[in-house]
Amino acid sequence: EVQLVESGGGLAQAGGSLRLSCAASGFTFSSYSMNWVRQAPGKGLEWVSYISSSSSTIYYADSVKGRFTISRDNAKNLLYLQVSSLRADDTAVYYCAREPRLGLFDCWGQGTLVTVSS
């Protein structure tokens, strides 16, 4: 069964940092591009970051550029998102999503909640 499980969320102070993880199982993780998408409480979805299968290509939304860092460890089937210089508007559920082809986010994790207190 294809599965993505996020972890690492929690309560952080404004200006603080967290490292989010996404554990993949049930498929060949190293063959897939991956994304992080977030959803503020009661709000819509917002794309955050993309990483290609080999980590050769990385993109960020303008709202997180310079503060968040995406990475992956294909040997461990893990995707990461280092979130730093946190602001109140970074409070959200963070989902990892698999992208088997451009524009198709076909598998999502259950999400991990990041709460930033000011």
Partner 1 sequence: QSALTQPASVSGSPGQSITISCTGTSSDVGSYSLVSWYQQHPGKAPKVMIYEGSKRPSGVSDRFSGSKSGNTASLTISGLQAEDEADYYCCSYAGTSTNWLFGGGTKLTVL
Residues that bind partner 1 (CB under 8 A): 35, 37, 44-47, 50, 59, 61-62, 95, 97, 101-106, 108-111
Residue number, 14 or 43, with CB nearest to partner 1: 43
- CA–CA dist 5, 117 (Å, integer): 25
Q: How far is the CB of 87 from partner 1 (least distance, A)?
A: 19
Instruction: Provide the token pair at 19.
Output: 């490292």
Q: How far is the CB of 77 from partner 1 (least distance, A)?
A: 19
Q: How far is the CB of 60 from partner 1 (least distance, A)?
A: 9
Burial class (CB in 10 A: 0-12, 13-18, 19+), 112: buried
Residue number, 75 or 103, with CB nearest to partner 1: 103
Burial class (CB in 10 A: 0-12, 13-18, 19+), 101: exposed
